[in-house]
């Protein structure tokens, strides 16, 4: 399978068409951005690490009955996946308060939430990805009806349960993460995008060390080393 035309280029990936109209190729970039593009950098090898980590997690979720767009990893930086119409809702799943949740609501950083919080953001860079409620989603026609929103919430919580337990076995705490969903060619809602430390907050279960893109956001350094450690723990526990 070869890349044909560049369909889309985002902050972290390029999406290419293929000879098969039902399949696309994602090319994972080394670029780093934060604050809706206000911070920019690059880390050699970061794209390959995100591709490999995403591959392992998509395989895990597929095996647990979660429908995803993943087909196969092609090489270090390329993933083959199903074509899907993107639902322009970023689904934020939170287990522990930190980041914008703590800043905006004054919740103590590091506080374990009494239940899993699922939030919706509008996937729109020009507007700064504002928060959405169910009525906003319907007015913007991002979904067909409220049953689709409930299904997305259900899937987000189910994915959280699987990944939280998976990471706990590897001495990592799943703090929060972002998911994206789309509709496949049959109209079914499936998990898309990537599952990497770019979109996940992961803390070492013992030291509390940050093992994700907060190392870039907060100028901590050592991002590639942290991503490599996440991948090694994922792969090491399988052997």
Task: Specify whether 109 is located in the same domain as 167.
Answer: yes
Residue 12 belongs to domain spanning: 6-82
Residue at which a domain ends, from 82, 97, 131: 82
Task: Specify whether 117 is located in the same domain as 198.
Answer: yes
Task: Specify whether 115 is located in the same domain as 63.
Answer: no
* Residue 232 counted as domain residue: no
Count of domains for the chain: 2
Task: Specify whether 45 is located in the same domain as 138.
Answer: no
Task: Specify whether 68 is located in the same domain as 97.
Answer: no
pLDDT digits (tens, 9 = 90+) for 178-187: 999 999 999 9
Strand, helix or coil at 191?
strand
Which pTM does this prediction carry? Answer: 0.95
Can you list the residues of the chain whose pLDDT is less than 50? 238-239
Instruction: Give me the CATH number covering residue 30.
Output: 3.30.200.20
Question: Could you identify the residue written with the tokens 């990805």?
Answer: 129
What pLDDT does 39 receive?
86
Task: Specify whether 92 is located in the same domain as 66.
Answer: no
Cβ partners under 8 Å of residue 80, min gap 6: 1, 18, 23, 24, 25, 71, 72, 73, 74
């Amino acid at each position: 399978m070869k890349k044909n035309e560049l369909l889309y280029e985002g902050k972290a990936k390029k999406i290419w068409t293929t000879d098969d109209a039902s399949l696309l190729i994602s090319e994972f970039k080394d670029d780093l951005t934060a604050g809706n593009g206000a911070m920019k950098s690059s880390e050699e090898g970061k794209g390959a690490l995100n591709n490999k980590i995403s591959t392992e997690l998509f395989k895990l979720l597929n095996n647990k009955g979660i429908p995803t767009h993943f087909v196969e990893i092609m090489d270090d930086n390329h993933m083959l996946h199903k074509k899907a119409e993107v639902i322009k809702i970023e689904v934020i799943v939170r287990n522990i308060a930190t980041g914008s949740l703590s800043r905006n609501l004054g919740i103590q950083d590091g506080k374990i939430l009494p239940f899993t919080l699922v939030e919706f953001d509008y996937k729109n860079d020009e507007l700064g990805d504002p928060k959405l409620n169910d009525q906003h989603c319907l007015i913007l026609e991002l979904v067909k009806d409220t049953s689709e929103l409930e299904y997305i919430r259900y899937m987000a919580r189910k994915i959280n349960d699987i990944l939280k337990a998976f990471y706990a076995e590897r001495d990592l705490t799943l703090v929060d993460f972002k998911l994206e969903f789309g509709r496949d060619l049959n109209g079914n809602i499936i998990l898309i995008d990537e599952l990497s430390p770019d979109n996940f907050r992961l803390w070492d279960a013992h030291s509390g060390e940050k093992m994700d893109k907060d190392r870039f956001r907060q100028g901590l350094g050592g991002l590639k080393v942290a991503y490599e450690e996440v991948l090694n723990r994922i792969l090491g526990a399988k052997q």
